[in-house]
């Protein structure tokens, strides 16, 4: 996420503040839609794996990436859309996709609202 | 994309890579399911990023990132080189690649109707209507439908000069009816179990399946299976329907010919292989009428294993695997081809996503059609069982001894399709089974089936593979019955 990454710190994860900014962006953008509630899940991974076979390293891989999952609720319907693009257009696209998915299905009479704010230990 | 790909190659070279390739991939996916008339899954996702694979100091390194800007891809390439240099500390020898030309190309798989342009409401309405058709049938207690679409753009660049863009649409759809009665569960699926049919096509695939016509048919069968006779337990003649034969090919031909499994470099999910290198061109894998190919070319059909170039930049090819019954070929890549005497990869390196290392994968592993009409084959069978649509499978970790069960069986008596049989299963040893094949139906009955869920590697990668097959007959097969009361 940070444009400051260099080869030497390519594995560095984003700061909590940067990730929180993504969440705030999604929630802010969602307020401009007809979504009644919005849930955002942001996950960042940095995985490395070394595999040995026949007494040698044959696969040695590393992965870094962010996933933003957006669930909206509107008019008794809900759905989720996911992206890994952090620009505003893409975040808006994920919200719109979530609303479009939700809007295409029948109302769910058993749908529960998003839980209110919960205290964290 | 090309600018970012080129920059990562430059960085890899500067950092000491002797070879590098990069894949920028943009994946879009839509999944819809229903269950008992209600919407289940309704999800859409997209993911874009880049993976860099390099050779440095004679060893491989791979790194991936979704940071698609110059500093991000540079960091990713540098990380891949650092990983390769670390890998070189524990290598047996330098990796040697067989030669390959550079290609500059742009290719798009045929797609008449972009599934992402079809309204969600239309897609969901079709599934709910099919679900409703099944629920109308008495005795059906669970109905399920699903639809999946993927759009994949990949930009491949390598240090030998290749620049290849490919665009693929993948569509899939299926319905299933389950009937519970007492202690027994019976299930029928259309057009195949475990998600239906999947192919390298657009929404035209869904329209061709005639879901509303076929959904009530399988629902009736699911209910009727409860009063059907139990499959006998005996050694006898077996006719396999095309979709079941497709899975048989996948498990007992496709996996054991993956050269990384043969060489002991991969054992996840499907184990290793009984096809040791000394058996190439010597093993009587099957009877003389059996011809199996690995064919990734679009001419073979719109299979899940069809493409123009693999993820190593090697053009799609057709390779004989079994020719007139003789074992003739493995699935290889640029690193392993020379180990079986080839001077060129067979073009089977594939990756699930930008963040996964390409590995040897099945393409379309297909049994070529024979000459029989299905009606003639049945008429020519005095006593046998026709089994169709997979229900379960089990095969040992060298792909040699197996057992399959199917959703439905039909007794063949005196050349006629007679009563329905429930809980059919069969088992065997791979080479004995394929050597017992004495009739294969013609191209009129041949379908290129899609298996969308083949797992391999670590981190696990899910890949779609294609398996062309028409119904075929096998003699002296051990036939059994699941849930039999001894």
Q: Greater confidence, B213 or B482?
A: B213
ipTM of the complex: 0.89
Contact A81 B43 (CB under 8 A): yes
A79 inside 8 A of chain B by CB: yes
DSSP string, B71-87: HHHHHHHHHHHHHHHHH
pLDDT of A42 strictly over 70 = yes
Q: Which of residues 225-284 of B touch A (CB under 8 A)?
A: 263-266
Which position has the higher pLDDT, A107 or B252?
B252
Out of A3, A61, A80, whose CB is closest to B357? A61
Number of domains in chain A: 1
User: Are B143 and B237 in the same domain?
Assistant: no
* Residues B219 and B233 reside in one and the same domain: no
* Residues of A in Cβ contact (< 8 Å) with B12: none
Give the residue from B227, B249, B269 where a domain finishes. Answer: B227
Please tell me whether the peptide bond between B191 and the residue prior to it is cis, using omega within 30 degrees of 0.
Answer: yes
Q: Tell me the per-residue pLDDT of B397-435, one tens digit each, with 9 for 90 and over.
A: 999 999 999 999 999 999 999 999 999 999 999 999 999
pLDDT band at A10 (very low <50, low <70, confident <90, very high): low
In this model, does residue B486 exceed pLDDT 60?
no
User: What's the whole-number average pLDDT of chain B?
Assistant: 97
Helix (H) or strand (E) holding B452: strand B447-456
Percent of residues, chain B, with pLDDT higher than 90:
97
Q: Is the pLDDT confidence value at B343 over 60?
A: yes
Chain A hits for B63, CB-CB cut-off 8 Å, are: 10, 61-64
* Closest by Cβ to B64, choosing from A5, A52, A63: A63
Pairing relationship of beta strands B59-65 and A56-74 according to DSSP bridges: parallel
Where does the pLDDT of residue A119 fall: very low under 50, low under 70, confident under 90, or very high at 90 and above?
Answer: confident
- Which pLDDT tens digit goes with each residue over B97-114? 999 999 999 999 999 999
Residues B190 and B261 in one domain: no
pLDDT tens for each residue of B288-338: 999 999 999 999 999 999 999 999 999 999 999 999 999 999 999 999 999
The answer to whether residues B220 and B323 belong to one domain is: no
Q: What is the mean pLDDT of residues B359-379?
A: 98
For chains A and B, CB pairs below 8 A equal 142
Q: How far apart are CA B88 and CA B121, in angstroms?
A: 54
Task: Provide the total of helices (H) and of strands (E) in chain A, helices listed first.
Answer: 2, 3
Calculate what percentage of chain A has a pLDDT beyond 90: 70
Are B392 and B345 members of one domain? yes
- Average pLDDT of the segment spanning A80-95: 95
Dihedral sign computed on CA atoms, order B370, B249, B111, B125: positive
Q: CA distances (Å), B137 to each of B132, B179, B349, in order?
A: 9, 10, 46
Query: In the beta sheet, which residues pair with residue B59?
Result: B56
Residue A89 in any domain: the answer is: yes
Running DSSP on this structure, what letter comes out for residue B310? -
pLDDT above 70 as % of chain B = 99
> Whole-angstrom Cα distance, residue B14 to residue B49?
22
User: Quick one: pLDDT band at residue A1, thresholds 50, 70, 90?
Assistant: very low
Question: Which of the listed residues B227, B262, B281 is the one where a domain comes to its end?
Answer: B227
- B-chain CB neighbours of A61 within 8 Å are 62-64, 83, 356-357, 459
Residues B143 and B251 in one domain: no
**Does B349 fall in a domain?**
yes
Interval B213-227: pLDDT, tens? 999 999 999 999 999
More confident residue, B134 or A16: B134
**Averaged over B236-265, what is the pLDDT?**
97
DSSP string, B234-288: EEEEEEE-HHHHHHHHIIIIITTTBHHHHTTS--TTT---S--GGGTTT-B-S-T
Q: Which residues in chain A are contacts of B67 at CB distance < 8 A?
A: 1, 5, 64
Task: Tell me, yes or no, if A53 comes closer than 8 A to chain B by beta carbon.
Answer: yes
**Tally of structural domains, chain B:** 2
For residues B344 and B397, membership in a common domain is answered with yes
B308 found inside a domain: yes
User: What is this structure's pTM?
Assistant: 0.95
Distance from CA of A36 to the nearest CA of B (A): 19
B345: CB partners within 8 A, 6+ apart = B98, B100, B310, B312, B314, B332, B333, B334, B337
Contact B459/A61, CB-based, under 8 Å?
Answer: yes
Question: Minimal Cα–Cα distance from B404 to chain A, Å?
Answer: 31
| B71 interfaces chain A, CB cutoff of 8 Å | yes
pLDDT at A6: 54
Same domain, B279 and B411: yes
Question: What is residue A2's predicted lDDT score, i.e. its pLDDT?
Answer: 45
* Whole-number Å distance between alpha carbons of A72 and B42: 12
Residues of A in contact with B39 (CB under 8 A): 105-106, 108
- Answer whether residue A11 is part of any domain: no
> What is the nearest CA distance from A116 to chain B, expressed in angstroms?
24
Res. B186: pLDDT tops 90? yes
The answer on pLDDT for A8 being more than 80 is no
pLDDT of residue A11: 58
Q: Closest by alpha carbon to B268, among B457, B397, B402?
A: B457
The whole domain housing A93 covers 36-107
- Examine residue A119 and state whether it is found in any structural domain, yes or no: no
- Last residue in a domain, options B166, B192, B227: B227
- Does residue A79 carry a pLDDT above 70? yes
Res B482: pLDDT: 84
Q: What percent of chain A has pLDDT over 70?
A: 90
pLDDT, chain A, mean: 89
For residue A13, the model assigns a pLDDT of 79
Q: Is residue A7 part of a domain?
A: no
Q: Are residues B131 and B151 in the same domain?
A: yes
Domain that holds residue B67: 2-227
Residues of B in contact with A80 (CB under 8 A): 43
Which residues in chain B (423-462) have CB-CB distances under 8 A to chain A?
458-459
Domain-located, residue B450: yes
B44:A82 CB<8 A: yes
If asked whether residues B209 and B256 sit together in one domain, one would say no
pLDDT band for position B124 (50/70/90)? very high
CA torsion through residues A88, A94, A97, A101, sign:
negative
pLDDT of residue A118: 84
Within a domain: residue B99? yes
Assess whether pLDDT exceeds 50 at residue A3: no
Domain assignment present for B486: no
- pLDDT tens-digit profile of B129-179? 999 999 999 999 999 999 999 999 999 999 999 999 999 999 999 999 999
């Amino acid at each position: 996420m940070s444009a400051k990454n260099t080869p030497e710190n390519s594995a560095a994860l984003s700061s909590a503040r940067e990730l929180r900014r993504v969440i705030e962006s999604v929630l802010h953008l969602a307020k401009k839609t007809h979504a009644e509630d919005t849930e955002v899940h942001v996950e960042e991974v940095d995985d490395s794996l070394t595999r040995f076979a026949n007494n040698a390293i044959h696969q040695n891989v590393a992965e870094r990436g962010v996933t933003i999952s957006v669930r909206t609720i509107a008019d008794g319907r809900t759905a989720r859309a996911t992206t890994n693009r952090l620009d505003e257009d893409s975040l808006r696209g994920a919200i719109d996709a979530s609303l479009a998915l939700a809007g295409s299905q029948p109302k769910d009479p058993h749908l529960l609202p998003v839980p209110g704010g919960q205290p964290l230990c | 994309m090309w600018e970012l790909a080129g920059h990562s190659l430059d960085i890899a070279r500067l950092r000491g890579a002797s070879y590098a390739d990069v894949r920028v991939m943009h994946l879009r996916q839509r999944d819809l399911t229903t269950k008992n008339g209600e919407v289940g899954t309704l999800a859409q996702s997209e993911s874009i990023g880049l993976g860099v694979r390099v050779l440095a100091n004679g060893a491989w390194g791979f790194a991936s990132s979704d940071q698609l800007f110059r500093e991000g891809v540079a960091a990713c390439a540098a990380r891949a080189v650092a990983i390769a240099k670390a890998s070189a500390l524990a290598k047996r020898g330098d990796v040697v690649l067989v030669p390959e030309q550079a290609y500059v190309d742009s290719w798009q798989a045929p797609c008449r109707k972009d599934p992402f342009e079809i309204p969600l409401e239309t897609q969901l309405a079709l599934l709910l209507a099919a679900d409703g058709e099944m629920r109308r049938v008495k005795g059906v207690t669970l109905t399920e439908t699903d639809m999946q679409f993927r759009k994949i753009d990949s930009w491949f660049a390598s240090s030998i000069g290749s620049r290849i863009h490919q665009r693929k649409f993948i569509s899939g759809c299926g319905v299933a009816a389950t009937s519970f009665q007492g202690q027994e569960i019976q299930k029928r699926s259309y057009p195949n179990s475990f998600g239906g049919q999947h192919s390298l096509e657009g929404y035209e695939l869904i329209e061709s399946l005639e879901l509303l016509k076929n959904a009530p048919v399988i629902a009736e069968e699911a209910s009727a299976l409860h009063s059907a006779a139990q499959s006998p337990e005996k050694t006898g003649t077996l006719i396999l329907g095309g979709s079941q034969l497709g899975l048989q090919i996948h498990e007992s031909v496709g996996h054991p010919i993956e050269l990384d499994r043969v060489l002991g470099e991969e054992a996840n999910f499907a184990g290793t292989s009984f096809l040791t290198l000394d058996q190439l061109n010597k093993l009587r894998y099957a009877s003389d009428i059996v011809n199996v190919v690995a064919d990734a070319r679009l001419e073979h059909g719109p299979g899940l294993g069809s493409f123009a170039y693999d993820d190593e930049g090697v053009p799609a090819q057709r390779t004989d695997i079994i020719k007139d019954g003789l074992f003739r070929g493995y699935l290889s890549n640029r690193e392993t081809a020379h180990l079986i005497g080839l001077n060129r990869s067979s073009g089977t390196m594939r990756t699930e996503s930008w963040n996964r290392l390409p590995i040897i994968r099945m393409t379309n592993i297909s049994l070529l059609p024979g000459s029989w009409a299905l009606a003639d084959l049945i008429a020519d069978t005095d006593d046998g069982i026709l089994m169709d649509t997979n229900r379960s499978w089990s095969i040992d970790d060298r792909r040699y001894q197996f057992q399959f069960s199917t959703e439905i069986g039909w007794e063949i008596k005196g050349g006629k399709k007679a009563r329905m049989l429930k809980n059919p299963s069969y088992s065997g040893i791979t080479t004995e089974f394929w050597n017992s094949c004495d009739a294969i139906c013609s191209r009129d009955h041949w379908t290129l089936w899609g298996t969308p869920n083949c797992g391999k590697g670590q981190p696990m990668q899910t890949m779609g593979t294609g398996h062309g097959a028409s119904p075929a007959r096998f003699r002296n097969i051990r036939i059994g019955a699941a849930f039999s009361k001894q």
